Amino acid sequence: MSKIYDALIKAAKNSHSKSAASRGGVGQQAGFLNHSSRNISFEWKITGAVATVILVFGIFLLFIASQLMARALRNQIDQRALAMTNNLSSAAASPVIGNNILQLYASLTKYTQLQGVAYAFIEDSNGKIIANSIRPLPTELVGTSTADERKQVGTRVVTLQGKSVYETRVPILEGQLGAAHLGMWAEDVKKEVNAIRLTFVAVMVLLLLVSVALYIFLVRAIIVSFGAGTRLRREIGRPNQLKAAIKNRVAS
């Protein structure tokens, strides 16, 4: 009778130990899951914050680069207009000396056919316009410069037909024969600058987004790899924890 009683007591202890170990294992597993969930949430917050900083900083740099690029493009277009006017001045020198008006008009026609050119005209050393590409000559272009100005390279903004024109002036033989004038439509200049700048901005925005996406992908890959290693170490150490918990329960 005593042996039967002892066997029942032992079985009850074993059942209680298994139940306690099972509850302990489930509790530990739930704790691990909650801890892992908190870690993932924190990691996503850190990743998102850094990605946002990179994106904002990149947009700021892109804005500055866009402004600098627009200025560089405008300067390049101004230099191109100056080169064209220099060529016109050189081409007009011989016809002005020989008073060959037909050749002057032929030169003006050639330059006004270039893209973005609004007009071109030649004035003599007295300020009289002796050849022009626009007929009748707009009043805005009459009396365009002084004797001293005709001896120097200069630029100005003219309103023609309700539109702005960037005009470049270059002296002919250092102003002794007058000056050559070439006007570029401001709208065409702005369109050219904006077209190149928008292409640049679009490419840079695409590269910025790809960089941020690549950053997030790499960070997530590192986090997942680190989390997998941590879970593996926990799984390896869990049997020892369960054994220790069973021993403690049985001993108590």
- List, for residues 153-203, the tens digit of each pLDDT value: 988 888 888 899 999 999 998 888 889 999 999 999 999 888 988 998 899
Is the model's pTM score more than 0.85? Answer: no
* Range of weakest confidence among 26-30, 43-47, 60-64, 245-249: 26-30
The CATH architecture to which 78-187 belongs is 2-Layer Sandwich (3.30)
- Locate the domains of the chain by residue range: 78-187
- List, for residues 102-160, the tens digit of each pLDDT value: 888 988 889 888 888 999 999 988 888 888 888 887 877 776 577 787 788 988 888 88
DSSP string over the chain: -HHHHHHHHHHHHHHHHHHHHHHHHHHHHHHHHHHHHHHHHHHHHHHHHHHHHHHHHHHHHHHHHHHHHHHHHHHHHHHHHHHHHHHHHHHHHHHHHTT-HHHHHHHHHHHHTSTTEEEEEEE-TTS-EEEESSSSPPGGGTT---TTGGGS-EEEEEEETTEEEEEEEEESTTTTS-EEEEEEEHHHHHHHHHHHHHHHHHHHHHHHHHHHHHHHHHHHHHHHHHHHHHHHHHHHHHHHHHHHHHHHHHH-
